[in-house]
Amino acid sequence: MRGFDLCADVPEPVRALGRIRLLEAEAALAAGDLARTARALHDEGLVVADLREGEIALSDLWFEYHVQRISQAEGVPVDDALRARVRRKYPLPDHLEFRMSAAT
């Protein structure tokens, strides 16, 4: 069983919580399920009510999703050059910005 499949056993009111959805999206990304991660980021409008300023979970998820997507699509390795390219080409949307500094 993959880690994010455990979410299927969680009651819907709990599963709908932003923090649980974030954890599910992170697990999906780690498992290589880019479609599930994309749904959380784009289609479902991931909102984590208890996210604190300075927390980088959403920004990390955003950038790593794009790194993995481009790596797979183009058959290129994940390296510093690809990560820099992603940060230039896919800036973090304002609604996901909780970092203390956009330069991080």
The tally of domains found in the chain comes to 1
d(CA 28, CA 32): 6
* Domain boundaries, position 90: 3-96
In a domain, 20, yes or no: yes
In a domain, 102, yes or no: no
In a domain, 48, yes or no: yes
Q: DSSP string spanning 29-65?
A: HHTT-HHHHHIIIIIS----TTPPTT--HHHHHHHHH
In a domain, 76, yes or no: yes
The pLDDT averaged over each successive group of 10 residues in the chain (104 residues) is 62 80 89 88 74 83 95 97 97 75 54
In a domain, 47, yes or no: yes
Neighbours of 65 (CB within 10 A): 22
- How confident is the model over 47-76, as pLDDT tens digits? 788 777 788 888 899 999 999 999 999 999
